[in-house]
A and B are shown apart, each in its own frame.
Chain A
């Protein structure tokens, strides 16, 4: 029975961290498909969102107002990032664009040190933090919040891309930019929208995890890299597959940590990344198309 309760416990903490990876991974996939940029600064949006929300809530705003405002601010930062760093370099090679986004992530991280310092900070939980016991496993309400918010995020993104006019226009650019342009869609404008949305999703992820594991200037890099792994498991071009990949990765990490070694879980995640790249670069769920990277 003890093993079973530990199992449930690890499963839920895997789902929690997986839901954070999922929100960031959707941002990756959307950005990558619309702009062709693998955005290494994606994880930094989570950091900016979390720290901004903490500051705003510390300044006396109610929690939900602080969260909404923080997301709005990060969306603006995302738009600014697109205008100043991605747009001027849009014709550069893949390597150049990657390195530019790494540069931007440095700028974000450094600015965060200037604004918030290096000490980790914490956001108060969304609701009272009374542990809930299910099958002898102890869950915190914040974990449930994380999972629920991320699922809402995932489904509203699905709705946005499939049912709304702008969402369809963005998806059209993913499928065929040239044809989209012929239909009167501006891919440049869609790139701005895609990166802003990704920034907002990243911010949301950071805010959700802030009450659980705290927030500091350097939280973004690892979150971002893990979300990469999730996106690659999903094949980089498929948002729902990336979400599944994110939950798989979260659960795998959680079990690796629980049953083996906390230190080695990063090595396991990245070993999985290499395996995916070497064996199935089109993603775990891709049908064999013969098209190689």
Chain B
């Protein structure tokens, strides 16, 4: 118990000290990206690893957060803080409405339904040009201010995003070690059994889905205020799949997997952008997906619990009695 807290505070200390040691804006911008993705994956890990439900549509909530805050703060002059909260409320509401019929579905059907939801929302971003600006994008999103303090440079924004990530990780950790967390894990273990012992499966699935949508929405809103320009292609189905890659690489069975998976993903894609054009001079576009594809397949076949589990195994802390990610359980397929 105390060891867990120790790890958390060490993590906080590391985040706090990093910009004081490293002064490169490039590295800070990478860490900010990792922050956005960690926040999304934090919610998604709760949904996938703890409740055992798949989602192929989380880019939609990331986008709803981004467009809501952009529209309200740039077009209507709201304070960004209020518009971010408005985005979170709208995302939570949509997640709730969509979640009710969706979480009656299982396995393949759930994956298809969330994928379909993602495509529909993406198409709306593209087509409702009077609000979103369509494929031309949305320009001039204001940066966030706290009194006279403007989060306009990388170092300041770095602290903003990581404070949010840290708070959401603490929140998730508290959920996991509460009654709700145990209920979620029991759903992941066996829906029929948890139903039989009186757990309201639907309610818990919806709650964790709404929570993950709020995380994604806030991350998307902060992203919009950071880059000040968004366009629909930043929120397509590929992004949902990238989120999935991050969760699986990090390991869905631990909340720290979100941070680790996001870091591996962002660092790897930066590395690939540097290295690959040197080796294959004619490569263009999203060539790096080859490597992510291989990563995904190899991880799932040989290391289905992700890097955090592999690390725990190496350090001998991994107990087989603790939760396993859905990927780890055999026999689900036919």
Contact = CB atoms under 8 A, between A and B. Distances in A.
B334 A100 contact: no
Contact of A270 (B104, B119, B126, B300): B119
Contact of B293 (A105, A228, A267): A105
A88 B297 CA distance: 10
B237 interface: yes
Nearest to B330: A91
Contacts of B280: 114
The main secondary structure of chain A at its interface with chain B is helix
Contact of B333 (A94, A261, A264): A94
A117 interface: yes
B285 A113 contact: yes
A104 B300 contact: no
A35 B105 CA distance: 20
A266 B300 CA distance: 31
Contacts, number: 171
Q: Contact residue range for chain A? A: 35 or more
A106 interface: yes
Contacts of A271: 116, 120
Nearest to B135: A263
A106 B117 contact: no
B333 A274 contact: no
Nearest to A271: B120
Interface stretch (B9-17, B106-114, B221-229, B257-265): B106-114
A270 B123 CA distance: 10
A96 B300 contact: yes
B301 A89 contact: yes
A104 to B, nearest CB: 6
Interface in A88-118: 88-100, 102-111, 113-114, 117-118
Contacts of A61: none
A277 B101 CA distance: 9
B249 to A, nearest CB: 11
A38 B332 contact: no
Given A95-B54, A271-B120, A38 B111 contact: yes
B289 A109 contact: yes
Contacts of B285: 113, 118, 217
Contacts of A267: 119-120, 123-124, 127
A273 interface: yes
Given A109-B289, A277-B105, A277-B109, A92 B294 contact: no
B88 interface: no
Given A37-B333, A99-B248, A264-B127, A274 B113 contact: yes
Interface of B: 48, 54, 101-102, 104-109, 111-113, 115-117, 119-120, 123-124, 126-127, 237, 241, 244, 248, 280, 282-297, 300-301, 304, 326-327, 329-334
22 contacts: A35-B334, A89-B300, A91-B330, A92-B300, A93-B330, A96-B304, A99-B296, A99-B300, A104-B293, A104-B297, A106-B241, A114-B290, A118-B284, A225-B115, A225-B237, A232-B112, A266-B123, A267-B123, A271-B120, A274-B117, A277-B109, A281-B105
Identify the 7 closest CB pairs spanning chains A and B, nearest first: A110-B290, A106-B293, A93-B332, A36-B334, A103-B296, A94-B107, A107-B293
